[in-house]
Structure 1
Amino acid sequence: MCVCYRLSERNVVEIIIKLRELNLLEVYHTDDGKEYITPNQLCREIHDEAIINGGRVSITDLVPILAVDHSLVEKQTQVLVASQPDLHFLLGQLLTKEYLDGVAEEINEKLQQLGTITIGELVKRYDLPGEFMEEVVRKRLKSIIRGQQDSSDSRVLYTEGFQKSLFFSETEKLITSHRISGILTGNRQITQANYLPGIYTRTQNNWVDNFFKQNGYLEFQALRRLEIPNPESHIKHHYKDYDLTFMGDVCVGPGLRDQVEASIDDAILRATWVDIYPLLPSVFSIDECSQLVELCLRRRSEAGGGRRGDAGGRVVGGTVVVSDVLITRLSEHLTQLMPQRAKAAVDRGAFKEQVSSGKVRMDDDDGGKKDKKDDRRKRAAGGKSGGGTQGRETKTKATKNKGRGKRQATHDSDSDDEHKQKHNQDSKLVEFLSAEEMKTEVTNFPELEDCPEDVLEELAGDLLRPLTQHFQEVARGVFQATLNAEGWERRRRTHQQLQDKVLALLTTIKLSEKSLKVFDEDMQVQLRRHLLRTQCTELVNELLLYLAHQSHINLPDNPDLTPEMRVKIIQKLDEDTSPPLLSVNKTLVGAGLEEFHKAVDEAVAAAGIMLKKKDNKKDRQVLLSHRAALLEQLAASLDAPLTLRLACLVLFQTVTGNMLHASGKFVPHVLAFLKTHLPDAHFITLHQYQELVIKSLTSKGDNEEESSIKLELERLAPTVKEIAITFKKTTGGSQTTEE
């Protein structure tokens, strides 16, 4: 009894995989994963597809049709070609004998129509290699293709009859024996060869001679219409003794060129302009006319004798020549408009903004300005009569202008970049006239009446930049006169105010730094950072605002200088002032004051401020003034956190004899320090007040609790103020209060 078992798909797959591993079965897996195909079946399907596609199919096209990997299709195609000699596989394509026979039939039809055909033409048409194409043709000659190969060139096919390759030898024999009159052209190439009868050549030359004699030029296109294939070579050979000028698609003789030169001479001598384009024949293009004008001007400038001292001309719009004298008159006319427009630019502040941005320097001599700055620094930091923040003597050294020599050395190599930068800077300068206004002024100039509009526009554009540069000098003179009119007394007062403010800040910073030693190292670092962010930053801001004003840098009213704004201002300062300001600005983000003290001396000197020696009497006055200011603020304070901070600062100065610059977050640390220096009752009151302040700042919105805290703060505030105001430290170490 026969038992049948039904296998699942999974079992079948496993069996096939096992058979493939044992080399008992060779199948290929399709791309969709649903079928297996044997190599023989794949070969049959490849052959079938080739037949379906007319006997020629690409492997790339078979891959999606057969759903088999490209490499497998290519492999089996090669196996198929190896087993069937009538199949061919090249350039990734499968070709059948039937397809090649069809190609041969098409070649035969074309050959019978034309009489000749080349293998190169067939390669382009059928997109097959030349050697293969030649083999296909050779195998089918005399059978499908009714023709033969040229014995001198196997890549040429022709039908039975006269061979074209014999044309050259037979024709040359006829010309040599004078049986025919003419010449052969085309360098013995069948596709380019021509026979020109003698009478035809004589007729061509007669037409060319007559046209050149009447018009003074020759157009290449006209000669091509006469079937002269290389007009330039023909003209050079035919007129080898003439002084001809070739440009573009025309040849100009001396007669026409002399006419153009005469017109240019007349315009230059009469200080006017002339457009050459309408004077030339219509066959001349704009480019050809422009080349001819440039040539005539160059010949004129190279000529000697009486022309050497003549005025010149400028080509505008390619074909218009404008006398240099006329351009000079136009420039002088426009220059007369400058003073009034310069005054208007200064009055509305546009020129000052330009000076502030650094686009225009007010100093005529960089060296002279540098000497003045060096003198000012020497006076500010020099000798035994002055000193730095610590009262030390300061030596000054003469410095060289490092940038000048370097720029001079690289001037030649960087000339292109400098020209681009200068062009960009010019585009940002205060305008003398806008492009449209400049064009209007040039158009309205009487001596340019009837001039083409594009020429006027180009002429206006050429004049805009040099006149804008000259306008800057005029505007600078007006601006300088305005500055002088403001008087020097106001500047002197401003500098004195800056000096007083800077010296006061330096003293405050020094005295505040002394008080930090009573705290631990971590707290000292935090207090130094706070000092850098406040007093030190205020000092640097004062210097920058003053120098920005002196350098005419525009700033908003009452500016709040951020680190980014400070860097931008420093970058706009001159090369002598910016380095020390940049150095001291970098120290503001540090954690120590040593670097700040080192850098601040040079920054202060750059502003022309004289630093004084250490003065203990002056220090005591600053301390008294500071304490008085704290007491005044304390008496007027109605804010509990502020009252607590001011009371702690006053008590700290009373206990240590030094001022302390600290924000509210440092109050707990200050109060902890004061604990050992205050009577217990005073400390308990201050500590209680501190806890109430903390509760008031951290309360969660309980109105009843907030009211209770507020009442208790108001009750203790007078006591806290009284403790700060009346407390004195005795020399014996006990603390007392004033009665």
Structure 2
Amino acid sequence: MSATWADIQKLASALQKAQNISGEKKLSDNNVIEILSTLRANKVIDIIFTANGKEYVTRKHLRREVANECLDKKGRVSFDDMVLGLNVDYSHIVEAVKNLCEEDDSFITHGAELYTKDYMDDLCRKIEEKLNEKGRTTIFEITKSFDLPTIIIDTYIISQIGFKINALKDGESIYTRKFLDTQKKIIKGAVGALTKVCVMEQIAESLEVSRNVFVTLWNELEQEKVITGRIMGSKSILKQAYYIPIYFIKLSEQFIRNKFNSDGFIDMSCFKKLFMLDVNGALVGIFGKEKVKKMVFLNSIVLEKEKFDEFLVNLKDDVRLKEYCNVLDCFNETSNVALDKQDLEVIKEKYIKGNDEFEYVSVDDETLIIYSKELSSKIYEALEPIVKEKARKEAPNLVIQLKEQSSKKAKVSDDEDDDWNTNKGGKGKKKVNTKKSSTKKGKAASNDFETTASIPLPREELLKTATKLNIAPRDVIEMLFDKLSNKLEIIFQHEIEITVTDLSQSFIQDKKKIRREFEEKAQSLYNSLMTFYDGTKVIEEKNEFASNKLCESLKEYLFKSIGTDLFNTLLKILSDQPIEDNLVGLKRDKAIKELSVPEDIKGMFTKLYQLLNSNSYEDFLSTMDSMFASNSSGLKIKFPKDSVKKEFQNSYLANLKEQLNLSTDHATSLLLSIIILLNVRCGIAIHASGKLVSALLTYLNSSTKLNEAESSLLLSAQAAVIEVFKSKGSTSLQLSEQLNEAMEEIKKITNE
């Protein structure tokens, strides 16, 4: 059980007496301290030692000392000051303060300070005195002046505003009621002096209060009926709100009353300039509900009903007299008022639409034309024959356009007839839709292809014709033209369809003819390729180095020339677009990609080109055979029979002889002669260039098909031709004559 202060005093007295007793042995100060520490450790006594350890005090007494220390400091003391003043550790002060605040609610602690509530009350009194002197202050100024933590200010000071502190708080600012009354008087004086519209923010800037307080004071003045004007806009955004003085309101209403009574109308912009957003409400306040009901409201003006009725009568009279009328011009003549395009829209929707007497047309939302139904019929009747005649003249041009487009887009099959389709176009254009269901022989057309072409309507020609007839001014006709154009397009379409139908069959036949010509060319090239390829095989069978080298050169030249020509011709047959003769690079790849065939056929085309450039001739021919055999390719090229090859070889020989007889060039004549002799003597047909003359002559001599004189003649002619090339045209007359004689002898040999 803890010892009381009386017990400790008794113990101290006993210790003192023991110390004073004379004897041989006494307790030292250290022994006394050790005894007290032991007693405190065993909880026999509950005391606190001072910082130097020479004095001690009970916890209860320490709390009393702490309270006395705070009161001595006028109600506010820091923990550090108490540590120095009471000579105990900081932790004991913290504990003592905590226990003191729990036992006595007149004390407050925060952070490292101890306060009394009397101190807080005295602080509120001082703040109120300061407020009464200045009229306003801020929380920051209070915090700075009294050097207090913000939480103390918020908890014990701000909460007393309106109670112990007679003031009003707004945000960080604090005002006295007297100060706010003064600000209200300033507002009252400023408002009373205004005669023009003023931005609310300008009034608020003249005061020393926040915007929220300004609005509060303004509302109080409104409730007190001090402010007689009105506000336009929201008081929550003062820079966008306007105060309209009563004097300005009365003058504005008087102006509107006089203006309307004098002119019979008033511009809507006047209301905006006079800060009257509710036009109908403003008019009701000025004229009363009954008179406002008789007004006509357009987008930009308000009119007397009598004046607007007068305008409608004049409008109808103009239409009956001239068969048309410009609404804007008519209104300007009647009322001397300029309308905008929204006004025209209101007039059209409310007063013109649904009228059986006349029709209307709007142009660019800025012009509204009213016209009689008879005027529309007259213009239509005048333009109809012109449209029909123009359609008949332009139909052939449309067929040309269709041919050009079809050459790019249409895919034609030999076994099927074609339908010709184009769709109707846009404004001012005509697109034709003609379907041919049968041929002249009555056979059903089973294959359709679609193309699109357009011919413009002869707008200017139609307008000039109608203008010359004096039906109406050109600008009126132009405005009506678009409305009539749909009917005119139907006529134009019908006439073109009739004409195009007659021309379409010949167009289809032309397409088929072009394809047949390409297919015939491809077959002929294939026949020649295989015939010449057989010739190279015969040379290859000799299996000699010279003959093998000659064979490779002949194959390379054959496939580079005839093989490439055949490849391009096949592309032209299957392509929907025009194909150049010698496609290379990206153009060739694009042409293959755009073919209207399955992907495997496109792959074959790509492979064929690669094989052409890699000298893989057998693979090239094998791939081509696979393509021809595939039904999905659409190609009808057949492998040439022996009889076909023989026929081609004979035709080729006759052609060579004809060329030889007409040739005047020695080198060309020598080449033709050698190729003819290979055909006649060796039975092989080849396709060769002049670079191979020497090798061909060597092969021919080795074939034993020439006698010694013929061989010598050919070799002499070859040497002479080479000499002529080397001399670059400066040969002797004798050599030329000898070469001419030799070539004549060679020609005779080829004709045997």
Q: TM-score, structure 1 length as denominator?
A: 0.50
SS of structure 2 residue aligned to 1:284: coil
SS of structure 2 residue aligned to 1:218: strand
Q: Which residue of 2 aligns with 1:440?
A: 464
Task: Give the alignment of 1:87-166 within 5 angstroms.
Answer: 166=185
Task: Give the alignment of 1:6-17 within 5 angstroms.
Answer: none
Tell me: CA distance 1:194–1:640, structure 2 relative to 1, closer, same or farther (3 Å). same
User: In 1, Cα distance between the equivalents of 2:347 and 2:737?
Assistant: 99
Q: One-letter code of the match for 1:531?
A: I
Q: Is the 1:316–1:459 contact (alpha carbons within 8 Å) kept by the matching residues of 2? A: no
User: In 2, Cα distance between the equivalents of 1:286 and 1:184?
Assistant: 30
Q: Is the 1:647–1:724 contact (alpha carbons within 8 Å) kept by the matching residues of 2? A: yes
Q: Which residue of 1 aligns with 2:338?
A: 284
Q: Could you give the per-residue CA deviations for residues 670-724 of structure 1, whole angstroms, max 9, x where no partner exists?
A: 33443421447344433332333233234245x3x35344223212213333444
Tell me: CA distance 1:210–1:527, structure 2 relative to 1, closer, same or farther (3 Å). same
User: In 2, Cα distance between the equivalents of 1:575 and 1:438?
Assistant: 44
Asked whether 1:516 is paired with 2:536, we answer: yes
**Structure of greater Rg:** 2
Tell me: CA distance 1:255–1:693, structure 2 relative to 1, closer, same or farther (3 Å). farther
Q: Please report how far the alpha carbon of residue 292 of structure 1 lies from its aligned counterpart in structure 2 after TM superposition.
A: 2.9
Q: Which residue of 2 aligns with 1:168?
A: 187
Q: Is the 1:515–1:658 contact (alpha carbons within 8 Å) kept by the matching residues of 2? A: yes
Q: Structure 2: any 5+ residue segments left out of the alignment?
A: 1-169, 174-180, 192-217, 433-450, 541-549
Q: Which residue of 2 aligns with 1:11?
A: none
Q: Is the 2:382–2:466 contact (alpha carbons within 8 Å) kept by the matching residues of 1? A: no
User: Please, which of 228, 253, 256 is the counterpart of residue 205 of structure 1?
Assistant: 253
Task: Give the alignment of 1:527-676 within 5 angstroms.
Answer: 527-534=558-565, 563=583, 590-591=612-613, 593-594=620-621, 614-654=640-680, 657-676=683-702
Q: Which residue of 2 aligns with 1:337?
A: 386
Q: Which residue of 1 aligns with 2:740?
A: 714
User: In 1, Cα distance between the equivalents of 2:407 and 2:491?
Assistant: 12
Asked whether 1:686 is paired with 2:714, we answer: yes
Q: Please report how far the alpha carbon of residue 275 of structure 1 lies from its aligned counterpart in structure 2 after TM superposition.
A: 1.4
Q: Please report how far the alpha carbon of residue 355 of structure 1 lies from its aligned counterpart in structure 2 after TM superposition.
A: 2.7
Q: Please report how far the alpha carbon of residue 431 of structure 1 lies from its aligned counterpart in structure 2 after TM superposition.
A: 4.1
SS of structure 2 residue aligned to 1:314: strand
RMSD (CA atoms): 6.1
Q: Which residue of 1 aligns with 2:499?
A: 478
Q: Please report how far the alpha carbon of residue 623 of structure 1 lies from its aligned counterpart in structure 2 after TM superposition.
A: 1.8
Q: One-letter code of the match for 1:287?
A: K
User: In 2, Cα distance between the equivalents of 1:313 and 1:532?
Assistant: 70
Q: Please report how far the alpha carbon of residue 641 of structure 1 lies from its aligned counterpart in structure 2 after TM superposition.
A: 1.7
Identity of aligned residues (%): 15
Tell me: CA distance 1:650–1:206, structure 2 relative to 1, closer, same or farther (3 Å). same
Q: Is the 1:640–1:693 contact (alpha carbons within 8 Å) kept by the matching residues of 2? A: yes
Q: One-letter code of the match for 2:404?
A: S
SS of structure 1 residue aligned to 2:277: helix
User: In 1, Cα distance between the equivalents of 2:242 and 2:507?
Assistant: 91
SS of structure 1 residue aligned to 2:388: helix
SS of structure 1 residue aligned to 2:672: helix
Q: Please report how far the alpha carbon of residue 646 of structure 1 lies from its aligned counterpart in structure 2 after TM superposition.
A: 1.1
Structure with higher RCO (Cα < 8 A, 6+ apart): 1
Q: Which residue of 2 aligns with 1:232?
A: 277
Q: TM-score, structure 2 length as denominator?
A: 0.50
Q: Please report how far the alpha carbon of residue 186 of structure 1 lies from its aligned counterpart in structure 2 after TM superposition.
A: 8.0
Q: Which residue of 2 aligns with 1:98?
A: none
User: In 2, Cα distance between the equivalents of 1:432 and 1:202?
Assistant: 63
Q: Please report how far the alpha carbon of residue 264 of structure 1 lies from its aligned counterpart in structure 2 after TM superposition.
A: 8.0
Tell me: CA distance 1:460–1:581, structure 2 relative to 1, closer, same or farther (3 Å). farther
SS of structure 2 residue aligned to 1:659: coil
Moved more, 475-484 or 508-517: 475-484
SS of structure 1 residue aligned to 2:325: strand
- Give the aligned length: 490
Q: Which residue of 2 aligns with 1:58?
A: none
User: In 2, Cα distance between the equivalents of 1:504 and 1:332?
Assistant: 60
Q: Please report how far the alpha carbon of residue 478 of structure 1 lies from its aligned counterpart in structure 2 after TM superposition.
A: 1.9
Q: One-letter code of the match for 2:464?
A: T
User: In 2, Cα distance between the equivalents of 1:508 and 1:534?
Assistant: 11
Q: One-letter code of the match for 2:560?
A: R
Q: Is the 2:466–2:477 contact (alpha carbons within 8 Å) kept by the matching residues of 1? A: yes
Q: Please report how far the alpha carbon of residue 664 of structure 1 lies from its aligned counterpart in structure 2 after TM superposition.
A: 2.7
Q: Could you give the per-residue CA deviations for residues 186-223 of structure 1, whole angstroms, max 9, x where no partner exists?
A: 8776998656345x534533543565577675313334
SS of structure 2 residue aligned to 1:336: helix
User: In 2, Cα distance between the equivalents of 1:268 and 1:601?
Assistant: 77
Q: One-letter code of the match for 2:368?
A: V
User: In 2, Cα distance between the equivalents of 1:468 and 1:706?
Assistant: 79
Asked whether 1:356 is paired with 2:356, we answer: no
Q: One-letter code of the match for 1:716?
A: A
Q: Is the 1:218–1:252 contact (alpha carbons within 8 Å) kept by the matching residues of 2? A: yes
Tell me: CA distance 1:264–1:683, structure 2 relative to 1, closer, same or farther (3 Å). farther
Tell me: CA distance 1:520–1:274, structure 2 relative to 1, closer, same or farther (3 Å). same
Q: One-letter code of the match for 2:397?
A: A
